[in-house]
């Protein structure tokens, strides 16, 4: 007897099947608690949908989809100029984007299947989900321009062709920077001892520059109290990015702390009792994901704030016996100088206009910011 497969699309985590979190155990970013963060504090130009995949009415897969309205955000940093041709073309042809995956994170946070469904079956159901979501947006008067599924490393990249994904362009963008913690490291002292002389000098210099800065773990109440300043510091860093598809709302970190509790860590950096920077961490099984951070640009170089935050993250991960730190994209060279290694990240993308889709590869190359950087080898 043939087994029946089906799917359901939800817009509220409260409506998810009871067995959802049992499937999400291996990835906090697909858990009901985290999805509630997206529900209550997503970027204003983003709508999230939660997809349940079923075999014989039993949940066998879960996935996240995001609709992103790129016309509502300053995508390219060049838009600070009077006219940006890239931004004009991008918004003209790709404003309405539908992603299977999480645009606020790096890594495979798109879906999970259990053993009762094959990868091909799961991907075929996701293909159906994409069609259903496209139809839902069309009924609301929104024509989806761009379809994408992201982010996979080489080993994770699934066989989309076998599942019937035709006309999609496989792309590779900025790498995911991953720091591996060695088994014999017990404290930050072991890490420092493993550094070559040049990078041990860098570590000591950075630590000396941080004299006078007080690092505090902030509670939900603390985050709320400093909300305005936190947002200001976040925008300082986000505004320097060469490419933006969203900006977080002011209440994002407060909601995050409320939903994830001890699995979400928020550290404030204070100088003379003034908040001058912050960073955030998310516990995800054996891995620790770094999240958004912010700093006062006028003090960043003088105090080597960013580098000190990276060292603090390394220290915490070693102390708490995590296996990896997911440093994500951006600032690849400085993360490399701390010990992170680049992992290529892939996805697939398709324009819904068949004529434009013929040139998707060329368009992607044109729009994707090329960032030159030199990998570093800080260890002996």
State yes or no: pLDDT of 269 exceeds 50. yes
CA distance 278 to 300: 12
Tell me the two tokens of residue 61.
């897969």
Residues 192 and 100 in one domain: no
pLDDT band at 370 (very low <50, low <70, confident <90, very high): confident
Q: Is residue 367 part of a domain?
A: no
**Pick from 118, 145, 166: which residue ends a domain?**
166
Residues 185 and 73 in one domain: no
Residues 15 and 128 in one domain: yes
Q: Is residue 350 part of a domain?
A: no
The predicted model gives 254-282 an average pLDDT of: 98
User: What is the CA 23 to chain-centroid distance, rounded?
Assistant: 20
pLDDT at 76: 47
**Pick from 117, 145, 166: which residue ends a domain?**
166
Q: Is residue 349 part of a domain?
A: no
Residues 107 and 230 in one domain: no
Residues 91 and 186 in one domain: no
pLDDT at 267: 98
By CB atoms closer than 10 A (0-12, 13-18, 19+), residue 79 is middle
CATH number of the domain at 235, please. Answer: 3.40.630.30
What domain range is 295 assigned to?
A: 177-342
Categorise residue 62: left if φ over 0, alpha if ψ from -120 to 50, beta otherwise: beta
Residues 154 and 196 in one domain: no
pLDDT at 80: 47
pLDDT digits (tens, 9 = 90+) for 218-259: 999 999 999 999 999 999 998 876 667 889 999 999 999 999
Q: Is residue 370 part of a domain?
A: no
Q: Is residue 364 part of a domain?
A: no
> Comparing C-alpha atoms, which of 42, 43, 46, 53 is closest to residue 9?
53
The predicted model gives 63-75 an average pLDDT of: 85
pLDDT band at 70 (very low <50, low <70, confident <90, very high): confident
The predicted model gives 126-150 an average pLDDT of: 96
pLDDT band at 141 (very low <50, low <70, confident <90, very high): very high
Query: HSE-up of 49 (CA within 13 Å, CB side)?
Result: 21
CA distance 235 to 237: 5
Give percent above pLDDT 90 in the chain: 84
pLDDT band at 91 (very low <50, low <70, confident <90, very high): low
> Comparing C-alpha atoms, which of 11, 168, 38, 12 is closest to residue 109?
38
* 279 neighbors 75 (Cβ within 8 angstroms): no
CA distance 108 to 99: 12
pLDDT digits (tens, 9 = 90+) for 327-357: 998 899 999 999 999 999 999 999 999 998 9
Contacts of 370 (CB under 8 A, 6+ apart): none
Q: Is residue 380 part of a domain?
A: no
Residues 331 and 186 in one domain: yes
Q: Is residue 365 part of a domain?
A: no
pLDDT at 338: 98
Tell me the two tokens of residue 340.
């992170």
Residues 160 and 294 in one domain: no
* 327 neighbors 177 (Cβ within 8 angstroms): yes
Q: How many domains does the chain have?
A: 2
Choose between 158 and 85: higher pLDDT.
158
pLDDT at 74: 63
- Provide the whole-model pTM: 0.92
Residues 160 and 187 in one domain: no
């Amino acid at each position: 007897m043939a087994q029946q497969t089906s799917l359901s699309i939800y817009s509220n985590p409260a409506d998810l099947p009871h067995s959802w979190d049992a499937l999400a155990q291996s990835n906090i970013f697909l858990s009901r608690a985290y999805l509630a963060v997206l529900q209550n504090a997503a970027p204003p130009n983003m709508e999230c949908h939660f997809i349940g995949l079923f075999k014989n009415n039993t949940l066998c897969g879960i996935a996240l989809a995001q609709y992103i309205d790129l016309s509502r955000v300053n995508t390219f940093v060049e838009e600070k100029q009077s006219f940006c041709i890239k931004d004009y073309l991008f918004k003209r042809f790709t404003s309405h984007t539908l992603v299977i995956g999480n645009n606020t994170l790096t890594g495979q946070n798109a879906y999970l299947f259990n053993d009762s469904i094959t990868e091909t079956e799961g991907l075929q159901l996701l293909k159906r989900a994409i069609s259903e979501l496209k139809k839902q947006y069309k009924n609301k008067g929104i024509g989806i321009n761009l379809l994408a599924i992201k982010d996979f490393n080489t080993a994770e990249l699934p066989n989309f062709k076998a599942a019937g994904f035709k006309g999609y362009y496989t792309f590779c963008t900025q790498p995911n920077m991953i720091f591996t913690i060695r088994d014999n490291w017990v404290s930050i002292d072991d890490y420092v001892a493993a550094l070559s002389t040049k990078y041990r000098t860098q570590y000591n210099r950075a630590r000396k520059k941080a004299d006078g800065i007080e690092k505090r773990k902030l509670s939900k109440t603390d985050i709320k109290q400093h909300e305005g300043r936190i947002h200001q510091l976040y925008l300082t860093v986000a505004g320097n990015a060469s490419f933006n598809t969203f900006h977080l709302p002011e209440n994002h970190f407060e909601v995050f702390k409320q939903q994830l509790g001890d699995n979400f860590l928020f550290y404030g950096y204070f100088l003379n009792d003034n908040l001058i920077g912050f960073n955030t961490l998310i516990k995800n099984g054996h891995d620790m994901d770094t999240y958004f951070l912010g700093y006062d640009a006028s003090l960043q170089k003088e105090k080597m704030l960013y580098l000190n935050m990276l060292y603090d993250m390394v220290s915490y991960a070693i102390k708490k016996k995590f296996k990896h730190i997911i440093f994500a994209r951006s600032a690849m060279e400085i993360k490399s100088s701390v010990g992170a290694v680049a992992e290529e990240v892939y996805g697939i993308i398709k324009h819904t206009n068949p004529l434009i889709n013929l040139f998707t590869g060329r368009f992607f190359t044109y729009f994707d910011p090329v960032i030159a950087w030199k990998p570093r080898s800080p260890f002996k």
